[in-house]
Structure 1
Amino acid sequence: SCADCVSQVTSYDLVSVICHHGTAGGGHYTCYSLNCISEQWFEFDDQYVTQVSPETVQNCEAYVLFYKKSSEAMGKLRHRAVELTELSQNEPSLMQFYVSKQWVNKFNTFAEPGPIDNSDFLCAHGGVHPSKEPYVNQLCTVLSQGVWEYLYDTFGGGPACNRLYACMSCQQEQQALHRRIKHELDVFMQLNKVIHHYIV
């Protein structure tokens, strides 16, 4: 029911259409898709991509329609974040913050990205888990203090991270787990030998 809805965004824009040409027994699929940056529609037909008019899309026989939530407010927030990023390039801040690339992607594409979530590269202790340390730079991006504060004030979440370090607690837990696995495997092998001895 509508009482259960938590979304504040109720507008949707058509962004893609799949068309089927042929009969129920067979045929061919094509796709019309909107480039949201240039606001141009394109037809995808196998390896051929052709720019088409909005009227062409409106008059096609649609098989599946794809909609995207639209939010003018998010557009303004993104624009402000870009402005702050450009300002920070001219006036580098002393402090930088690491933010999940996954969340930044949500911010750039979703109408409602939700709170900042750095849990994909930070452990519960606030450090980098040893298993993620080799590729942590693929999981996060650096923001200036001004951009971070703007996003944090707007969306909340976190945790804030201005330094990447290997988490010693997680490293100790991982080492303890490896020792336990080795011990359990050794016990299993010994029991297996004893059982095998009695069977033979």
Structure 2
Amino acid sequence: CTEVNLPLARQRNENEMRAVRRHWNELGHICGDLNRFRPVYSAKDFLDVICVLVNPNLKIDETLWNCGLIKIPLVTKSFIEIKNLYSELRPNIIQYCSDETFNEAKEEENIKLAVQILEKKPNLNAVREYARRGCPTSLRGKLWSSMLEVDLSNWHITYFNYLKQNVIDYDLLVDSLYFKVL
């Protein structure tokens, strides 16, 4: 902190608070000048560390060992396994809002179906099956809450608003470091 002459935490002024409130949904994408912060590791240091990693439990095929810099094998599924795993994403199955033929009538029908699923005592499997085809933006939060079996009480909402107000009120040095890493 003393090196870059910045406090660990400081209270924002009124203009900064208004700007944070105005751009609340975009905070993860907005960052100031981060040139004063130097990373703990440079990109080259990170690459050097990755290059020397070796899995001791792996039988090594000597013919392939000298190929490339990174010696950690990645276990991946075959094309057939991936195709079977994501079979519901086939082009002949309509996904919500991803097809050019998806018009307003279909959207209204899709929203009505989602409301029907949510109004009944939500069956976890029914909600998941519905969500596989895509969720309307307006009901996405309720559908995810139902899928994850999360029930938000007034206490949760009050606590979230308390935390949100603290983010608006205070500027932390740690926030800038997160931006620098990402």
Q: Determine which structure has the larger helix proportion and give its number.
A: 2
Determine which structure has greater relative contact order: mean sequence separation of CA pairs < 8 Å that are 6+ residues apart, divided by chain length: 2
* TM-score clears 0.5: no
Larger radius of gyration: 1
Q: Determine which structure has the larger strand proportion and give its number.
A: 1
Normalised-by-shorter TM-score class:
under 0.3
